[in-house]
Amino acid sequence: MAGDATFKKSIDTAIKNPKLSEALHLFGDAYLVARQNAFHGLDFEEMRREMADIKDEVRINRKELLTEFITNAEKAGSTVFVAQDVQEANDYVINIARKNKARLIVKSKSMVSEEAHLNRALEAAGIRTAETDLGEWIVQLAGQRPSHMVMPAIHMFKEDVAKLFSKQTGKELSPEIKTLVNVAREQLRKEYFDADIGLTGANFLVAETGGIGLVTNEGNARLCATLPRVHIVFAGVHKLVRTIEDAIKITRLLPRNATGQLLTSYITWIRGTVPTDGEKKEQHIILIDGGREKLYESKACRDALRCIQCGACANVCPVYQTVGGHVFGSIYISAIGIILTAFYEGLDKAKELTRACIGCRSCSAVCPSGIDLEEIILHLRNEVTGKYGMGVIKNVAFKAIMKNRSLFHSMVRAASKLQKPIISKVSGGDSPPIIRHLPLHFMAKDFTEWRDLPAVAEKSFRDIFDTIEQHVENPQYTVGFFVGCGADFVYPEVGVALIRVLNRLQVKVVFPKGQNCCGIPALYAGDSETGIDLAKQSVRAFSDAEVDYVLSICPTCTMGVKRDFIKRLSDDPDWSEKAQTLSEKTMDASLFIEKILNGSEKISGLENLITGENVTYHDSCHLKRGNNVWQEPRNLLQSAGFMVTEMKNSDRCCGFGGTYSFLSHPQISKQITTDKVIAIAETGVKTVAMDCPGCMMMLKGAMGKANGSIRCVHTIELLAAAIVKTDK
């Protein structure tokens, strides 16, 4: 519990200091543009599939490749040591240093050495270290740790750096970046010449040649590997690749995805004991396991070792942008940092981090190695819950209420009548939890200060479905509607609108009443048991209904049904087959209308369309990155006569993230939402369309307080309004 409190406090501190967050936002925006240019004319998806294959092949054959690397490196004169843990690795370095009577080691960037706290170990042994990467040096002088893998000192400003450098040089330095870079150049140049040992990391280890590769911009790694007589390579065992060609493929992805550069200034390939000052260099390669084998063995998490350390998963992460890497990470930061922390430092250390992820999937979308980071984080969150529990409120709610469909639904009905918090009488515990309406809405008190809470609809969709008349002359398809909690209890009008639109396009809609919540909120909170139960209820309901397709207007539910049900039920052959069948039939409503019905062509052909207004479109995280749908709703809106004005970063998270915004981290959520509200307002457009009830709750609520004149609607509602008069 102490951990929780400290973590919350660090978030508060970060949020109260918006300067860092502003800088990270600017960086994030510029990054996206640079990255897009860098991949111009290349097929990123294809490239990352290939990278994933390369790295997976390494995983499978890692023992053989390691042996091959060692043999080849030794043939070229290198000494290779495989360290089981960081302690062994540090001791080995100290030993080499002692043998060489070394007093100074110059270092270029090695994240593993951060992981090993190597500098600390060396200083304790009386050996001085000088970091030579500018960012690392700044962080070293400040006595801090890097807050970003590629830009270690991204959290600092030039004034901070000037102060540090002034102290270091004993001269009063102005906070001018050029001057500061020059100071580093001068100060460190001497160190390379004085050093007894140069220590570098490695971006790759080529098994076929026994050589290593360094990808850098500043030129410090080349100096570290050249000037001192001894060269130590300090790297993780997972940096192996089979061939030079595979390594080249890393160099094609890494700089482009890290900083939007086509290539870094230097790529340095070194094999063996190259000449130094008239003799042969002494080269030691230390390969560190430090938890990597355990990670390789974890089926659910092992893809994380495909990481090529581009840092992109931080650049695009809304949580990272809001609180920075010192809060959202440990040695390694942001999405990949959560996973590596769990394996290298222990699940306990990663506990709060797993809960701080909002689940927007930006990291998974940007990763050049095709790591589904968000999914792995979700898995770890489940483990955290299994081990540490998930806190009283969620526990009672999910377990006792969610699983019992009629109880849950009748509670919601009751809530709609009272329109105020209701008290659960369901479970034990002295102070019964307050439950507000929905599985997503377990109240946090400070929440209403900055946004309105959505009111529960007077009648839920499931209560009005039977009263909706459907007129379909020649039904082309019959579809089942997976309503999802948001549309069921808060925005039933979206469900009604969907029926209007589908009927107009000759599709009949059925509503299996046995369906329940998709279970994602429970799952995201780490309660997989409830998730399994809920999946079964819905799979049963839809298997019994005879439908061609199953549609949802909530992308989170679509993901749940399409992807997660199969996984949740995979242990049970009967259920898993049914889940598979349901998955194949399920899709997002906009996608169905556009792809299966050819909707934009049909809609634009309708007579008497009401001329649409100007709208802007918000891409929901789970629609774009979970379902790969973003063009379809835009096409449909345009076909119905709406003009779509794009907002800045339309696919950036709105801050919702389910229970996240209510319970886990309302402060972070608020910041992310504020960004979105500004982006929308900047378009000058008065209507923002989206395809997700979660985003609707978030944005309607925030707009209500921030800018009441902007309307937030579901795409389907706009379509229904446009075709209203086209019937006869």
Partner 1 sequence: MSNQQQVEKFMEMAGKVGAETVKLVDLQSVAGYIASQVSGQTLVPSTFLAEKHGLARLLSSSGVNVFKGDFRGADHVPAAGVTFSNFALADTGTIVLESTAEDIRLATTLPEKHFILVDPATILKDNLAAAAPMNVFHAGNDPVFVAYITGPSRTADIERVLTIGCHGPRELHILLVDGISDDMMEN
With 0-12 / 13-18 / 19 or more C-beta atoms within 10 angstroms meaning exposed / middle / buried, residue 176 is exposed
- State the Cα–Cα distance between residues 634 and 637, nearest whole angstrom: 5
Q: Is 353 in the site for ligand SF4 (CB under 6 A)?
A: no
Cα angle 637-639-645, degrees, rounded to a multiple of 5 = 45
| The only residue of 367, 376, 539, 547 in contact with ligand SF4, by rule CB under 6 A | 367
Q: Is 369 in the site for ligand SF4 (CB under 6 A)?
A: yes
Q: Is 311 in the site for ligand SF4 (CB under 6 A)?
A: yes
The residue among 212, 244, 267, 200 whose CA lies nearest residue 76 is 212
Q: Is 277 in the site for partner 1 (CB under 8 A)?
A: yes
Residues 6+ apart with CB under 8 A from 64: none
Kind and range of the H or E run holding 79 = strand 79-83
The nearest distance, CB 51 to ligand SF4, in angstroms, is 9
The nearest distance, CB 80 to ligand SF4, in angstroms, is 25
Q: Is 154 in the site for partner 1 (CB under 8 A)?
A: yes
Q: Is 595 in the site for partner 1 (CB under 8 A)?
A: no
- Residue 617 — left, alpha, or beta (φ > 0 → left; ψ -120 to 50 → alpha)? beta
- The neighbour count for residue 414, using CB atoms within 10 Å, is 12
| The only residue of 100, 144, 168, 217 in contact with partner 1, by rule CB under 8 A | 217
CA 208 to chain centre: 34
**Could you tell which of ligand SF4, partner 1, none binds residue 578, using a CB distance below 5 to 8 A set by kind?**
none
The nearest distance, CB 248 to ligand SF4, in angstroms, is 17
List residues bridging with 549 in a β-sheet: 479
**Binding region for partner 1 (CB under 8 A) out of 75-83, 317-325, 430-438, 558-566:** 75-83
Strand order in the sheet with 643-644: 643-644, 614-617, 687-690, 711-714
Q: Is 51 in the site for ligand SF4 (CB under 6 A)?
A: no
Q: Quick one: tokens of 64? A: 């053989």
Q: Is 541 in the site for ligand SF4 (CB under 6 A)?
A: no
**Binding region for partner 1 (CB under 8 A) out of 132-140, 374-382, 512-520, 699-707:** 132-140
**Could you tell which of partner 1, ligand SF4, none binds residue 87, using a CB distance below 5 to 8 A set by kind?**
none
Q: Is 358 in the site for ligand SF4 (CB under 6 A)?
A: yes
Q: Quick one: tokens of 168? A: 């270091």
Cβ atoms of 579 and 566 closer than 8 Å: yes
| The only residue of 58, 241, 373, 615 in contact with ligand SF4, by rule CB under 6 A | 373
| The only residue of 21, 119, 309, 528 in contact with ligand SF4, by rule CB under 6 A | 309
Q: Is 324 in the site for partner 1 (CB under 8 A)?
A: no
- State the Cα–Cα distance between residues 417 and 60, nearest whole angstrom: 58
The nearest distance, CB 329 to partner 1, in angstroms, is 18
Q: Which is nearer to ligand SF4, 361 or 441 (CB)?
A: 361
Q: Which is nearer to ligand SF4, 48 or 222 (CB)?
A: 48
- State the Cα–Cα distance between residues 700 and 696, nearest whole angstrom: 6
Q: Which is nearer to partner 1, 168 or 726 (CB)?
A: 168
The nearest distance, CB 379 to ligand SF4, in angstroms, is 13
The nearest distance, CB 550 to partner 1, in angstroms, is 44
Strand order in the sheet with 240-241: 211-216, 204-206, 240-241
| The only residue of 317, 327, 699, 719 in contact with ligand SF4, by rule CB under 6 A | 317
Q: Is 89 in the site for ligand SF4 (CB under 6 A)?
A: no
Site for partner 1 in 510-569 (CB under 8 A): none
* DSSP-derived pairing of the beta strands 434-435 and 422-423: antiparallel
**Could you tell which of partner 1, ligand SF4, none binds residue 15, using a CB distance below 5 to 8 A set by kind?**
none
Q: Which is nearer to partner 1, 256 or 399 (CB)?
A: 256
Q: Is 118 in the site for ligand SF4 (CB under 6 A)?
A: no
Q: Which is nearer to partner 1, 334 or 460 (CB)?
A: 334
| The only residue of 132, 147, 362, 460 in contact with ligand SF4, by rule CB under 6 A | 362
- The neighbour count for residue 100, using CB atoms within 10 Å, is 15
The residue among 580, 581, 499, 500 whose CA lies nearest residue 548 is 581
Q: Is 310 in the site for ligand SF4 (CB under 6 A)?
A: yes
Q: Is 33 in the site for partner 1 (CB under 8 A)?
A: no
- State the Cα–Cα distance between residues 205 and 209, nearest whole angstrom: 9
Q: Using the 8-state DSSP alphabet, how is residue 714 labeled?
A: E
Burial 679-689 (b: 16+ CB within 10 A, else e): bbbebebebbb
Backbone φ and ψ for 458, nearest 5 degrees, come out as: -60, -45
Q: Is 359 in the site for ligand SF4 (CB under 6 A)?
A: yes
What's the length of the chain? 728
- State the Cα–Cα distance between residues 657 and 319, nearest whole angstrom: 11
Backbone φ and ψ for 688, nearest 5 degrees, come out as: -115, 125
Q: Is 275 in the site for partner 1 (CB under 8 A)?
A: yes
Q: Is 335 in the site for ligand SF4 (CB under 6 A)?
A: yes
- State the Cα–Cα distance between residues 498 and 552, nearest whole angstrom: 10
Q: Is 387 in the site for partner 1 (CB under 8 A)?
A: no
With 0-12 / 13-18 / 19 or more C-beta atoms within 10 angstroms meaning exposed / middle / buried, residue 63 is exposed
Residues 6+ apart with CB under 8 A from 53: none
The nearest distance, CB 176 to partner 1, in angstroms, is 10
Q: Is 212 in the site for ligand SF4 (CB under 6 A)?
A: no
The nearest distance, CB 661 to ligand SF4, in angstroms, is 12
Q: Using the 8-state DSSP alphabet, how is residue 301 labeled?
A: T
Q: Is 185 in the site for partner 1 (CB under 8 A)?
A: yes
Q: Is 63 in the site for partner 1 (CB under 8 A)?
A: no
- State the Cα–Cα distance between residues 145 and 455, nearest whole angstrom: 45
**Could you tell which of ligand SF4, partner 1, none binds residue 348, using a CB distance below 5 to 8 A set by kind?**
none
Q: Is 174 in the site for partner 1 (CB under 8 A)?
A: no
Q: Is 312 in the site for ligand SF4 (CB under 6 A)?
A: yes
Q: Is 30 in the site for partner 1 (CB under 8 A)?
A: yes
Q: Using the 8-state DSSP alphabet, how is residue 618 labeled?
A: P
- State the Cα–Cα distance between residues 173 and 245, nearest whole angstrom: 46
Q: Note the residues at the interface with partner 1 (CB under 8 A).
A: 23, 27, 30, 72, 75-77, 132-135, 138, 151-154, 156-158, 161, 177-178, 180-182, 184-185, 188-190, 193, 208-211, 217-220, 222-223, 225-226, 244-245, 248, 251-252, 259, 261-277, 280-281
Q: Note the residues at the interface with ligand SF4 (CB under 6 A).
A: 307-313, 316-319, 335-336, 357-363, 366-369, 371, 373-374, 377
